């Protein structure tokens, strides 16, 4: 008679196969995300490559190569024999070609945004927070030297402020926008940021579009959960890393200056409030009046309210965001009609 099968070995083999299958499924999911991100990049930026046909061709080769790749059990990725991988080296260069719009998020950062948008383990607010962090990392990478020098000046101001208020109980130190050294530091940084050719207003539109993709339409609670003080889209108070200032509210092109030449700290937050609000379906009257707060009902108590549009300046900034969103939509509709 033949010996009975070793059930222990069979169970071990089955468990091993299941682990390998799980690994392959995860690899497939990861590369499906990368493929989707690369395809989205090609679709979104194709019009920008009129003067950079080689970069566009590289992107198309990348889509084809990733689509035909295979993942092995050991986790390695195999491309078809003879595949030209020069496209990968080209697309890893964040700067890409000089013909690319400087306000366009580079490929490596765009992939990260797409992965975050597709992550089913995160809430909409968590996704928004991580997406904004990707944008901030990119903005910082454009001028690390300038931001490092500015951070040093800001640190010096913070120490002086702390000492003054400690030595003078009940008194407040002058605002950062009134400090001569900080005004000079911001002017120096503004000059440096101007050379990046980035328009921060356009970048904030892109951020708003990316967050709108993971947001519900006309959800009052979710909207205010995004824009309230210290929440993801509060650009005025949001800080980058260990720094104590908003990277968004610096002297980029597109951010207006105060009378003393200091960059506006309020504009971009109000602007994005209007732009993003329209992106998720709210009309101008709702955004201005804050009437949507009534819809939150019994949840009002838990919100740290920071109503936008409570003065003429805020309202004008919100209107700019609303107008730019609507103009952009009209342009898209017009282009689609002509296609």
Q: Per residue in 79-96, pLDDT tens?
A: 777 777 776 666 665 444
What pTM did the predictor assign? Answer: 0.69
Domain count, the chain: 2
CA 108 remoteness from chain centre: 13
| Tally of CB atoms within 10 A around 130 | 17
Max Cα–Cα distance, the chain, nearest Å: 98
**Whether residue 176 sits in one domain with residue 27:** no
Q: At 75, is the pLDDT very low, low, confident or very high (cuts 50, 70, 90)?
A: low
Query: Do residues 229 and 144 share a domain?
Result: yes
Q: Are residues 182 and 240 in the same domain?
A: yes
Domain that includes residue 176, residue range: 121-339
Is 110 domain-assigned? no
pLDDT top residue among 141 and 49: 141
Q: What pLDDT score was predicted for residue 298?
A: 37
Question: Are 162 and 247 within one domain?
Answer: yes
- Same domain, residue pair 173 and 248: yes
Confidence of residue 1 (pLDDT cuts 50, 70, 90): low
CA dihedral sign of residues 272, 275, 277, 280: negative
From 47-61, 150-164, 235-249, the region with the lowest mean pLDDT = 47-61
Degrees, nearest 5: CA angle 208-212-216: 150
In a domain, 108, yes or no: no
Same domain for 24 and 164? no
The DSSP output letter for 291 is G
CA distance 297 to 293: 7
Boundary of a domain, candidates 99, 131, 149: 99
Question: What Cα–Cα distance (Å) separates residue 93 from each residue in 206, 209, 320?
Answer: 20, 24, 34
pLDDT of residue 203: 97
- Same-domain pairing of 95 and 125: no
Residue 59 pLDDT greater than 90, yes or no: no
Instruction: Report the Cα 322 to chain-centroid distance in Å.
Output: 19
What is the pLDDT confidence band of residue 97, given thresholds at 50, 70 and 90? very low
At 118, the pLDDT band (50, 70, 90 cuts) reads very high
pLDDT tens digit sequence for 166-176: 999 999 999 99
On the 0-12 / 13-18 / 19+ scale of CB atoms within 10 A, 1 is: exposed
Task: Please tell me which residue, 284 or 2, carries the higher pLDDT value.
Answer: 284
């Amino acid at each position: 008679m033949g010996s009975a099968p070793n059930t222990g070995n069979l169970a071990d083999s089955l468990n091993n196969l299941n682990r390998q299958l799980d690994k392959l499924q995860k690899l497939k999911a990861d590369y499906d995300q990368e493929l989707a991100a690369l395809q989205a990049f090609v679709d979104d930026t194709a019009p920008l490559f009129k003067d950079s046909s080689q970069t566009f061709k590289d992107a198309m080769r990348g889509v084809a190569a990733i689509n035909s790749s295979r993942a092995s059990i050991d986790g390695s990725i195999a491309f078809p024999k003879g595949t030209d991988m020069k496209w990968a080296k080209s697309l890893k260069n964040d700067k890409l070609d000089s013909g690319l719009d400087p306000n366009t998020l580079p490929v490596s950062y765009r992939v990260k945004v797409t992965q975050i948008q597709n992550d089913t383990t995160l809430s909409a607010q968590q996704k928004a927070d991580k997406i904004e962090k990707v944008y901030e990392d990119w903005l910082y990478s454009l001028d690390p030297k300038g931001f490092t020098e500015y951070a040093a000046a800001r640190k010096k101001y913070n120490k002086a402020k702390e000492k003054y208020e400690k030595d003078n109980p009940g008194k407040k130190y002058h605002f950062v926008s009134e400090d001569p050294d900080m005004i000079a530091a911001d002017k120096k940084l503004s000059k440096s940021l101007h050379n990046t050719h980035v328009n921060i207003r356009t970048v904030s539109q892109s951020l708003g579009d990316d967050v709108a993709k993971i947001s519900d339409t006309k959800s009052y609670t979710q909207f205010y959960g995004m824009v309230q003080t210290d929440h993801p889209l509060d650009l005025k108070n949001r800080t980058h890393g260990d720094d104590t200032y908003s990277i968004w509210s610096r002297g980029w092109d597109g951010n207006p200056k105060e009378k003393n030449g200091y960059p506006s700290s309020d504009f971009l937050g109000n602007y994005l409030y209007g732009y993003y609000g329209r992106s998720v379906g709210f009309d101008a009257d709702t955004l201005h009046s804050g009437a949507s707060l009534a819809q939150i009902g019994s949840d009002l108590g838990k919100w740290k309210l920071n109503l936008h549009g409570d003065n003429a300046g805020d309202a004008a900034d919100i209107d700019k965001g609303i107008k730019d969103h609507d103009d952009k939509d009209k342009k898209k509709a017009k282009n689609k009609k002509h296609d």
